[in-house]
Amino acid sequence: MAKDPVCGMEVNEETAAAKSEYKGQTYYFCCPGCKASFDKEPEKYLGSEPTGGHHHH
């Protein structure tokens, strides 16, 4: 399992809704919206806990 860097949700790499490559690392996302947020400002989401952006599907 991987952790969505935007919302902190656990995501299965096999069934992730979206994924991104950044600095040689692959990140997995629970939904395309989280990927879009990450792609826009990846540094905001790396190296720190998610900032209150929790959501549930």
- Compute the distance between CA of residue 8 and CA of residue 34 in angstroms, rounded to an integer: 10
- Compute the distance between CA of residue 45 and CA of residue 51 in angstroms, rounded to an integer: 8
Question: What average pLDDT does the chain have?
Answer: 88
Average pLDDT over residues 3-25: 97
What are the domain boundaries of the chain? 2-45
Residue 52 φ then ψ, to 5°? 65, 15
Confidence check: pLDDT of 53 > 60: no
Average pLDDT over residues 1-17: 97
Share of the chain above pLDDT 90, in %: 79
- Compute the distance between CA of residue 10 and CA of residue 24 in angstroms, rounded to an integer: 21
Q: What is the pTM of this model?
A: 0.79
pLDDT at 52: 52
